[in-house]
């Protein structure tokens, strides 16, 4: 019987894991090294700016898994990636992923809840203080040789004010605990009535009308897209501040710029934008806006925890196991999750 020549042997199936999360350590004990021990190959494709669906289709060629930032995974991307088994999101938001399409194609979508709540809460309070104390305006003035301390340059006070939290999940509750030391009155609007006695549950309109600071903590859903538009901004006090560490799409950005430019709103502090990065946004020219690059949830501990969890989710799925924090549990009913472990290769059912 003839011995098969090397060129006649079937090539092993691809085992690439595309990693778009910036600064992922390919040699980290619980990151790239863990992937390689599982027979997988990390392929680093860091997302450091806007990324198109067409680019994602190219990057995912031959990949069985992806550990991702806020990359776009629309239905076309998923249809063009037949080998893909799991999208492990470093974070909790899945608004950049068509979860229904992922389920239909047998692709698990996982998140990392609870890993960055304290970090987001810290950043939220930092943005409140930066806007109220006008830190960025004064920093720029000092650098230009100015010494503007009083008059129209006078800072404002967070202590003793009324803060409205739109959304009262884990992050909203953590923010409320941070604010306790500032002796503020906390108003909350959320579909689930809060149980904490230290906060007052009110309607969105009442919250907007009464708050000195409005802080957004709602997920981006069809029901919350542009939740804060021209009508809602008109309800806010002219001396109020809007803080957004949720998602850019929760706010109508044009309406916000209009309100800020016309003095209908005192200031805004934003970590998220409708387009990221916000290259052409009129927000960039406004002195009464504090900006950060969608990094409210990022700290050394939170990144370590989120990337470790995302990596573990990939390995679990590719071993044919149900991972923790599955955004689309119905995917477990898909043919892709029956039979041999997924890492053994083969197309989706």
Q: What DSSP designation does 176 have? A: H
**Could you give the CA distance from residue 24 to residue 332 in angstroms, rounded to a whole number?**
28
Q: CA-CA distance, 216 to 247, in Å (whole number)?
A: 9
CA 220 to chain centre: 10
- What's the burial of 108, exposed, middle or buried (CB within 10 Å: 0-12/13-18/19+)? buried
Task: Name 39's Cβ contacts closer than 8 Å, sequence gap at least 6.
Answer: 15, 343
What residues pair up with 326 in beta bridges, in sequence order? 110
Is residue 198 within 8 A of residue 180, CB to CB? The reply is: yes
Catalytic-labelled residue, pool 261, 274, 276, 304 = 276
Q: Which residue out of 15, 51, 217, 294 is catalytically annotated?
A: 294
C-beta separation of 318 from 342 below 8 A:
yes
Specify whether 276 is catalytic. Answer: yes
Q: How many CB atoms lie within 10 A of CB 54?
A: 12
Instruction: Tell me how far apart the alpha carbons of residues 211 and 288 are, in angstroms, rounded to a whole number.
Output: 18
DSSP tally for the chain: helices H, then strands E? 11, 12
| Degrees, nearest 5: CA angle 343-344-347 | 85
Phi, psi of 16, rounded to the nearest 5 degrees: -75, 140
CB neighbours of residue 264 within 10 Å: 17
Judge whether 263 and 238 are in contact, CB under 8 Å: yes
- State the DSSP code for 18: E
Whether 247 is catalytic: yes
For residue 30, how many other CB atoms are within 10 A of its CB? 15
Which candidate in 15, 173, 247, 308 is catalytic? 247
Instruction: Output the CA–CA distances (angstroms, integers) from residue 180 to 142, 163, 199, 245, in the order listed.
Output: 32, 11, 10, 19
Q: Is 162 helix (H, G, I), strand (E, B) or coil?
A: strand
- Which residues are part of the catalytic machinery? 247, 276, 294
């Amino acid at each position: 019987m003839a011995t098969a020549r090397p060129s006649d042997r079937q090539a092993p199936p691809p085992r690439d894991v595309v990693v778009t999360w910036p600064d992922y350590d390919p040699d980290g004990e619980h990151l790239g090294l863990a992937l390689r021990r599982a027979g997988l190959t990390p392929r680093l494709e860091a997302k450091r700016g806007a990324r198109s669906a067409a680019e994602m289709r190219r990057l995912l060629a031959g990949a069985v898994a992806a550990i991702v930032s806020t990359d776009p995974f629309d239905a076309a991307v998923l249809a063009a990636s037949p080998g893909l088994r799991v999208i492990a999101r470093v974070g909790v938001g899945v608004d950049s992923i068509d979860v229904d399409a992922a389920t239909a194609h047998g692709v698990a979508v996982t998140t990392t809840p609870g890993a960055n709540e304290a970090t987001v809460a810290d950043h939220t309070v930092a943005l409140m203080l930066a806007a109220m104390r006008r830190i960025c305006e004064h920093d720029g003035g000092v650098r230009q040789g100015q010494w503007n301390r009083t008059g129209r340059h006078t800072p404002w006070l967070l202590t003793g004010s009324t803060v409205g939290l739109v959304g009262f999940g884990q992050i909203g509750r953590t923010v409320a605990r941070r604010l306790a030391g500032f002796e503020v009155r906390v108003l909350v609007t959320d579909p689930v009535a809060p149980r904490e006695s230290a906060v007052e549950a009110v309607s969105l309109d009442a919250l907007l009308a009464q708050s000195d600071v409005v802080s957004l903590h709602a997920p981006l859903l069809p029901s919350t897209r542009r939740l804060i538009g021209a009508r809602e901004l008109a309800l806010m006090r002219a001396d109020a501040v809007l803080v957004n560490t949720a998602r850019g799409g929760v706010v109508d950005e044009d309406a916000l710029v209009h309100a800020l430019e016309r003095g209908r709103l005192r200031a805004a502090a934003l970590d998220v934008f409708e387009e990221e990065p916000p290259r052409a946004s009129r927000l960039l020219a406004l002195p009464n806006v504090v900006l950060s690059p969608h990094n409210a949830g990022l700290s050394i501990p939170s990144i370590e925890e989120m990337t470790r969890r995302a990596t573990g989710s990939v390995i679990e799925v590719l071993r044919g196991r149900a991972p923790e924090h599955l955004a689309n549990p119905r995917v477990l009913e898909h043919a892709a999750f029956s039979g041999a472990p997924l890492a053994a290769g083969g197309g989706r059912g």
